[in-house]
Structure 1
Amino acid sequence: MSTEFAGYRRGSSEYRRLLIAMFAAGLATFAQLYSPQPLLPAIAEDLGVSADTAALTMSCATAGLALCTLLWASVADHCGRVRTMTVAVLGATCFGLLTPWVSHYPLMLLLRTVEGAFLGGVAGLAVAVIVSEAHPSVRAAATGLYISGTSIGGLAGRIIAGPLSEVMSWRLSMFAVSVVGALAAVLFITLIPASHDRQRTPGASIGSSGVGSALGFFHKIKGLLTNMQVLALFFAGFALMGALVSIYNYIGFKLQAPPYFLSPTLIAFLFLMYLFGTVSSGAASRLTGKNGLKPVFLTSCLLMAAGILLTLAGPLPVVVLGLAVLTTGFFAAHAIASGWVGLLSLDAKTQATALYNSFYYTGSALVGWATGLLYTAAGWSGTALACTGLLLLSALFSALALGKKAG
């Protein structure tokens, strides 16, 4: 299409459709991805497995997402971002509707992995679609609305599934969330405006030009992985997401046990703490304009670590306060890190975004499972202290590697 396209502007019908479509994409993706999280104690009890084994329901999906994000970026380079996102959201929805009904747990985990792989095509390409379709003057607002969709989607998946599990099986609860995801996917497909990706000429993906394209792709990846500033942000994404998912994976086990005895509904409502993140991500962006990226980013990481330490306390109000503090710190730090990666990688934005997402969701899959082993062996203190240590290590790496400015 014409390279003169400047992007959809505020007030146009296409811009409004783009906003709603991207919000729906975030909702469809993250509602399905996180719906099992409040159900982990019920899954463990029903299947007779340990907490870390039940957590594989989450880790397998995020592992599939992490492993396939770069693949989707490569596919999008050849087939177009919007078309690729459409295929991805359709595939994820189909597997999301099927997975809860599989009785054989290992097969269910395999299907969750495939579902996560398709979800990677949405999570990895959404911001790149916004950059290519929205006018520069409204890209930040459009990206912010998509991120709101992801946080509301993740929250909706948990809030719907948790209370439903008290009146129906955990399988029906997961299925109900997948139905919501399917409706959001239909909304995305219906409303997303026509893509303005540059069209490749026939045969561009084969022969010498195809080899050159592949070499250019891997050259960009190598450049990103050898840039210490970018690598520090990748590791930050790994640590931030790994710690957050670990805390929320196992907090239900802690709070359903003595002396708390909280119901699944009350535990699900703890995920309302994510609303603090909706506020803190925007506040962090404003603070960086006054104080710089690095100080606000490091402060946010330390705030998250402090929140995790508060969950070690006995009184329930202090534990809840800790969840609020760590969630506030997480969303602020993640908002800065994900944006900073793009600023440091102007000639490889798509690859940088994809790699950040790969590290981010690898942290969710790997740390989210490994800290379950610590929970089984050492209880909540083992999980909380491991997450705190990981965050402090990441903050130290960032403090040493990152410059004061974005690039």
Structure 2
Amino acid sequence: MEPDPPEAGGRGTLALYLGTVAAYADMYLTQPILPLLSREFGVGPARAGFTVSAVVLAIAAASSFYGPLSDVLGRKRVMVGATVLRSAATLACAFAPSFGMLVGLRAVQGALVPGMTAVVVAYAGDRYRPRELGSVVAGIIAASVVGGLVGRVLGGWIAAHAGWRSAFVAFSFSSLLAAFTLARGLAPVPVSEHRGWGAAYRGMLAHLAHPPLLGAFLVGASLFFGWIGLFTFLPYHLSAPPYLLSTELVSSIYLVYLAGVFIAPVVGRLSGRFPIQRLLAIGLVVEALGMVAALARPLPVVVAGLVVLVLGTFTAQAVAPAFVNTTARTAKGSASALYLTFYYLGGTLGSVLPGLAWQAWGWPGVVACCVASTGVGLLANALLCGRR
């Protein structure tokens, strides 16, 4: 049966975008303030990075749960409930008495993030016609860019002026507002597959035997490995000589994310005219070129390299989730969840391994580690995504 048309007035589309913004803002909140956390709790860069890796690891572990859950219970119910609970977890982070408690609460946040992010594309696939899906998914990806930008820039600004705990309080209320918008704006989509948990998980695992889907999963892992690795340890690079930038200035560097807001809708429209495999390859190559440019010493060249990196990453990321949704024949919620599981497993490794490279070889080690991840994505795309 063909999906219903989009919600009247675009309220539902706007709700999807706002829910996505809030989820990604919570996810990246601690990235620009890692040096502040290092000073307050007396921990080194690699350990401070646990406030990022704990979120990413929890997302990777929990994503595979939300796909089958949304297939069984319905997408809207899962997205609204998880967003409300994440608001409470975000508020609790503001009152963490120790670094260990903060890391634990960040993991709770992470376990609730995919209640939104792992389900939103599947909801769009249920609700919009195929000719509309590419643009809607590209808009969701653009919203994820805005969320990452808000978390880093606004979170860093609040932390610089009112302390890092105030940033968590502010973002807790933004998540609560997003939950209200989802509850009011989304139309319930009837559960189309009346299946139990066992059947739902069997449907999810069957996707791993489908080469194009497996290739897309590996592309997602490589994309996020390089992305989170570079941007997690960027504050240490820019706050050290010769730059010596303040927390507020480091946070402003993340404005390069705006390039992703513009490129994602453009690529969404191009996806109907060019093969997805070609767009994925172009995105990965451009991402790697941006990483290499970030090795330059002049700050303007570093920033330009980051812009190129963002353009490449979101060229690939704007089409990969829609590719997964249209390639999966059944259990689309589970397919989207598996993509995010791989995506965030890559991010988990990307928030740890480049940290070890930083301690051994500094910024060049971080960049080399992240560039290598794009090579994995290119191989997966070439060898698997085109197979039928």
TM-score relative to the length of structure 2: 0.93
Is the Cα contact below 8 Å between 1:160 and 1:177 reproduced in 2?
Answer: no
1:144 and 2:138 matched = yes
* 2:227 aligned partner, one-letter code: L
Q: CA deviation at 1:136?
A: 4.3
Structure 1 stretch displaced more, 389-398 or 315-324: 389-398
Q: Mind listing any 5+ residue stretches in structure 2 that lack a counterpart?
A: none
Q: CA deviation at 1:84?
A: 1.4
1:353 and 2:336 matched = yes
Distance 1:326 1:198, change over 3 A: same
Q: CA deviation at 1:259?
A: 0.6
Structure 1 stretch displaced more, 156-165 or 87-96: 156-165
Show the 5 A alignment for 1:4-403: 6-9=3-6, 12-13=8-9, 16-198=10-192, 200=194, 210=196, 214=198, 216-403=199-386
Q: CA deviation at 1:5?
A: 7.7
Q: CA deviation at 1:55?
A: 1.0
Q: CA deviation at 1:104?
A: 1.8
Distance 2:139 2:385 in 1: 28
Is the Cα contact below 8 Å between 2:143 and 2:261 reproduced in 1?
Answer: no
Please give the secondary structure, in 2, of the residue aligned with 1:165: helix
Q: Which digits, 9 at most, give the CA deviation of each residue in 1:50-75, with x for residues without a partner? A: 11111111111121111111111222
Q: Which digits, 9 at most, give the CA deviation of each residue in 1:234-262, with x for residues without a partner? A: 11111111110111111111011111111
Q: CA deviation at 1:166?
A: 2.0
Structure 1 stretch displaced more, 130-139 or 250-259: 130-139
Distance 1:250 1:20, change over 3 A: same
Q: CA deviation at 1:289?
A: 4.0
Please give the secondary structure, in 1, of the residue aligned with 2:351: helix
* 2:304 aligned partner, one-letter code: L
Q: Which digits, 9 at most, give the CA deviation of each residue in 1:324-374, with x for residues without a partner? A: 011110000112222222232222322211100001111112221221121
Distance 1:336 1:138 in 2: 13
Distance 2:71 2:314 in 1: 29
- Count of matched residue pairs: 388
Is the Cα contact below 8 Å between 1:69 and 1:355 reproduced in 2?
Answer: yes
Distance 2:382 2:121 in 1: 27
Distance 1:321 1:137 in 2: 34
Between structure 1 and structure 2, the one with the greater Rg is: 1
* 1:269 aligned partner, one-letter code: S
Is the Cα contact below 8 Å between 1:17 and 1:193 reproduced in 2?
Answer: no
Distance 2:203 2:188 in 1: 28
Is the Cα contact below 8 Å between 2:59 and 2:114 reproduced in 1?
Answer: yes
Q: Which digits, 9 at most, give the CA deviation of each residue in 1:26-73, with x for residues without a partner? A: 122111111111111111122111111111111111211111111112
Is the Cα contact below 8 Å between 1:372 and 1:383 reproduced in 2?
Answer: yes
Is the Cα contact below 8 Å between 1:27 and 1:149 reproduced in 2?
Answer: yes
CA RMSD of aligned residues (A): 2.1
Distance 1:73 1:258, change over 3 A: same
Q: Mind listing any 5+ residue stretches in structure 1 that lack a counterpart?
A: none
Q: Which digits, 9 at most, give the CA deviation of each residue in 1:262-315, with x for residues without a partner? A: 121221111111111122223333444444222222121011001101111111
* 2:211 aligned partner, one-letter code: M
Q: Which digits, 9 at most, give the CA deviation of each residue in 1:213-234, with x for residues without a partner? A: 61x3343333321233222211
Distance 1:333 1:29, change over 3 A: same
Distance 1:24 1:96 in 2: 17
Distance 2:25 2:205 in 1: 33
* 1:75 aligned partner, one-letter code: L
Percentage of pairs with the same residue? 28
Distance 1:246 1:147, change over 3 A: same
Is the Cα contact below 8 Å between 1:31 and 1:178 reproduced in 2?
Answer: no
Distance 1:87 1:285 in 2: 29
Distance 1:186 1:305 in 2: 39
Distance 1:5 1:283, change over 3 A: closer
Is the Cα contact below 8 Å between 2:122 and 2:325 reproduced in 1?
Answer: no
